[in-house]
Amino acid sequence: MRRIASVLLRSFLQGLILLSPIALTGYLLYKIFTSVDSLLPKMPQGLGFVIIIAAVTVVGYLGTRFFVGRWLFDSFSHLMAHTPGVKYIYSSIRDVISSFVGDKKKFNKAVWVRVNETPEMWRIGFITQKDMETLGMPGMVAVYLPHAYAISGWVIVTNRANTINADKMSPGEAMKFAVSGGITTAVETDNDKKN
């Protein structure tokens, strides 16, 4: 009887391991879809989501392709960045978003950082400032260290000698490695790329 219970329990846990990522991803997509869709409540279900995605895409296209659109967005951005009280919130959000996407991506230089000498410990991170001399710290760099299973992280300032370029990983692979707690395959093999 114990053996059957053990097999059933093990099978249940394996099922959780297999289904949890699918279920959580599906749940998050559903919540995002319904949240965006509810912004336009008197539309048929799904249409609000499509309209909002289309509107954001059109704004992005006009804001980057045409001089007038670019000028309007730059003017609005300048106004928000210089409005007392609002400027800190706006500029922080703008900088964080532009760090991940767009032409000014900041997390594009993955490095291994020594965070402890005895015992020797290394963490994966991203160079955010290549030179801290303007802040009175010559030879130092700023490194962002993402937290595992979170969208947060922390910044350390360390001597450049404590970093090693993570040349065998793309920035995306390095972020995936850090956020997963190091349990994902850091570098895709040829077989992974084919699948």
- For residue 128, tell me if it sits in a domain: yes
For every residue of the chain, DSSP letters joined together read -HHHHHHHHHHHHHHHHHHHHHHHHHHHHHHHHHHHHTTSTTS-TTHHHHHHHHHHHHHHHHHHH-HHHHHHHHHHHHHHHTSTTHHHHHHHHHHHHHHHSSTT-----EEEEEEETTTTEEEEEEEEES-BGGGTBTTEEEEEEEPTTSS-EEEEEEEGGGEEE-TTS-HHHHHHHHHTTT-S-SS--HHHHH-
Residue 76 within any structural domain of the chain: no
pLDDT digit string, tens, across residues 135-186: 899 999 999 898 887 767 888 899 989 999 998 888 888 888 888 888 876 5
Query: Is residue 173 situated within a structural domain?
Result: yes
State the residue range of the domain holding 181.
110-189
Q: 79 or 32: whose pLDDT is higher?
A: 79
Average pLDDT over residues 25-31: 81
Is residue 123 domain-resident? yes
Structural domain tally of the chain?
Answer: 1
- Report the chain's mean pLDDT, rounded to a whole number: 80
Task: Give residue-wise pLDDT tens across range 89-130.
Answer: 887 777 766 666 655 566 778 899 998 888 899 999 998 888
Specify if 133 maps to a domain.
yes
160 within a domain of the structure (yes/no): yes
pTM above 0.85, yes or no: no
- Please indicate, yes or no, if residue 146 is contained in any of the structural domains: yes
Q: Is residue 170 part of a domain?
A: yes
Neighbours of 47 (CB within 10 A): 12
